[in-house]
Structure 1
Amino acid sequence: MAAAPVSEDKLSPQDTTAVPLRACLALVGGLAALGFSAIFVRWAGAPGTVAAFYRMAIGLGMLTIPYLASRRGRPRFRAREALVALIGGSFFALDLAFWSSGVMLSGATNPTLLANTAPIWVGLGAWLVLRERLPVRFWLGVVLALAGATFVIGLDAVQSMRLGLGTLLGLLAGLFYGGYFLITQVGRRSLSALSYFWLSALSATLVLLVINLVLAHPLGGYAPHTYLSLLGLGVISQGAGWMAINYAQGHLPATTVASTLLGQPVLTGLLAGPLLGEPLRPLQALGGAVVLLGIYIVHRSRQVTP
């Protein structure tokens, strides 16, 4: 969840010279916050969909006051504008539900790694729906990423079907996040960043509430450490993390931000060893490296495409 970027034209010349450093620090801080998201989910020990609900509900609460302040004196949304944001939020809800559930089944690293395949699904969606021509490098990246993903899923499935299912859920999360990204591109043409993200957060929270009711997952009755972990997930990973990254996006090149964020699954994998007792296995690291290389190639090919 991201907030509206800070505008540089409101800064003094002295402040402007400090912006790149602040933006770099914000990007690193945001990356660290996102890297901890799977750790918080595992620490909480609640069903994945419950963790996803609290993550969005807390994030929604953090955005509500700034959102209401930004809407003063402004005309109401058109129905179509709001509908696009609500649909986008539904996709984001499914992304979080699949990813969090995958983390609870397979551990922190592999579902997080495969959830980062979203750029592949965005590119394929642009090719299928928008008829966008994609360079050969894009397809090379897709082949590498999917080959690495198949290898990682296979490693888990050999150990147990539970692990394989959790890793597969991470791949589905990436698919739905790709859909959310494409819908967001449409929604942001007519809505401000804050308005779009608040509406999509509202939608995601409601969808996750319904999912938990259907699955009969209780939203209460957990141990205190569970609520502390969920609070960390909502405040640090969802709220502060995405606000920091959004600030960095306003002041750093897109290539820098996108490439840096590929470090999220790497950081999660490194943290999972000492904090969760889930050390990286050599073959797992090899498959993950192939996936990240493929995603990086996809990123670069899309950035140079007109």
Structure 2
Amino acid sequence: MPVSAPPRKNDAPESDRHHGVTTVPPLAFVAVILANVALAFGPWFVRMADTGPVASAFWRITLAAPILVLVALVGPARPRMPGKGQGLLWGFLLIGGVAFAGDLGTWHMGIRQTTMANATLFGNSATFIFPLYGFLVARAWPSRTQGIALVLAAVGAGLLMGRSYQVDPRHLVGDLLCVLAGMLYAVYFILMSRVRFAMPPIPALAWSTMASVVPLFLFATLLGERVWPDHWGPLILLAIGSQIVGQGLMIYALGLLSPLVVGLALLVQPIVATAIGWVVYGEALALPEWLGVAMVAAALVLVRWGAPKMVAKPRDMEDGRATL
């Protein structure tokens, strides 16, 4: 399987061009916001699909994979065969793809076994797990402004979900599946953020997407789900909106933004999901939820202004190798 050449020195993320001091590139910030807007429509499409939940995840990946691979092959970053010392890079792509398959499979199952609010809240627990990785491992320490943003985001998320969240034994299995999905999503983010130091976004997404196809098919088959749909519309929208547009923009942003910025941007998803519920299902927002939306929006503004003090780039990524 081919791999794209590492980015040239003058193509490095902005954090690498300023002696490790990270700014928040405007284009990357817009990309991560748009990515989460697109991804927020995913649960709606999953519920519309007439296949099993894991099967809908399989089709999301399978329909998107050929398009992503084609774009990777004809794009400006010409693919080439992997070179010496790149085994770990490919290992990250493979494990990342399997982790993403596990995330999609468990989350899609959870969506149908718990409330939309619970699924969104627990499924995006990477909001705080991924920044924690940045603080402890990547040494991407937040500024005072971004620390305030993190607190605002936590309180805002609690207000946004507080009224709808229910501790109900009937939802326990679905809740646990969504928690597992959020943890696997954080693992996927961590691995793909390392891959992005050595590989452009489209090839990285294409190869990790390919690695998700077989695990999802086996998962759906073992569960005895209906795999072949009668109506392709929701699945096509899921593949284009969530995998190609949503994950495409997300993987691009992972190479340019700190874990804190990416993690907090995930809170755009529950905001958009709440808006979808309001418009489509007539689920009106109460005052605490409006306040939560405002606090999350304020957190996103603050995290855009205040840059983390340091993001450490792995030395051995410069020649295509990767470490955690």
Q: What TM-score results when the alignment is normalised by the length of structure 2?
A: 0.67
- Shift in Å, 1:196: 1.9
Q: How many residues align?
A: 285
- Contact 1:90-1:203 at 8 Å conserved across structures: yes
- The answer to whether the 8 Å contact 2:93/2:192 transfers is yes
Segments of structure 1 that go 5 or more residues without pairing to the other structure are: 1-8, 10-19
Residues 137-286 of structure 1: pairs in structure 2 closer than 5 A: 141=150, 145=154, 152=161, 156-158=165-167, 160-220=168-228, 222-224=229-231, 227-243=232-248, 262-275=267-280, 277=281, 279=283, 282=286, 285=289
Residue aligning to 1:14: none
Q: Alignment identity in percent? A: 24
- Please identify which structure carries the higher helix content: 1
Mapped partners of 1:177, 1:143: distance in 2: 23
Shift of 1:63: 0.5
The 1:143/1:214 distance shift into structure 2, 3 A limit, reads farther
Compared with structure 1, are the counterparts of its residues 245 and 166 closer, same or farther at alpha carbon in structure 2 (3 Å cutoff)? same
Q: Which moved more, 1:229-238 or 1:100-109?
A: 100-109
Q: Tell me if structure 2 keeps the 8 A contact 1:60–1:201.
A: yes
User: What is the Cα deviation at residue 232 of structure 1?
Assistant: 0.8
Aligned to 1:95: 103
Post-superposition offset of 1:218: 2.6
1:40 to 20, 45, 51: 45
Distance 1:287 1:162, change over 3 A: farther
State whether residues 118 and 166 of structure 2, in contact with CA within 8 Å, keep that contact through their aligned partners in structure 1: no
Kindly tell me: are residues 175 and 143 of structure 1, through their superposed partners in 2, closer, same or farther at Cα, counting changes over 3 Å?
farther
Deviation at 1:25? 8.4
Offset at 1:295? Answer: 7.8
Conservation of the 8 A alpha-carbon contact between 1:141 and 1:297: no
Query: Quick one: which amino acid aligns to residue 62 of structure 1?
Result: I
Which stretch has the larger CA shift, 181-190 or 138-147? Answer: 138-147
Gap runs ≥5 in structure 2: 1-9, 11-24, 311-324
Provide the rounded CA distance (Å) in 1 between the counterparts of 2:261 and 2:139: 24
1:72 Cα shift? Answer: 5.7
SS at match of 1:184: helix
Q: For the residues of structure 2 that align with 1:301 and 1:148, how far apart are their CA atoms?
A: 20
Q: Tell me the residue number matched to 2:72.
A: 67
Give the TM-score taking structure 1 as reference length.
0.70
Give the drift of 1:239: 1.4
**Which of 103, 114, 118 is matched with 1:106 structurally?**
114
Over 3 Å counting, the alpha-carbon distance change for 1:203 and 1:302 in structure 2 is: farther
Deviations 1:224-277 (A, max 9, x none): 2xx2111110122221344456678899999988766532221111112342x3
Quote how far apart the aligned CAs of 1:298 are: 11
CA distance in 2, matches of 1:90, 1:232: 22
Q: Give the letter for the 2:210 counterpart.
A: L
* Counterpart contact for 2:125–2:182, Cα < 8 Å: yes
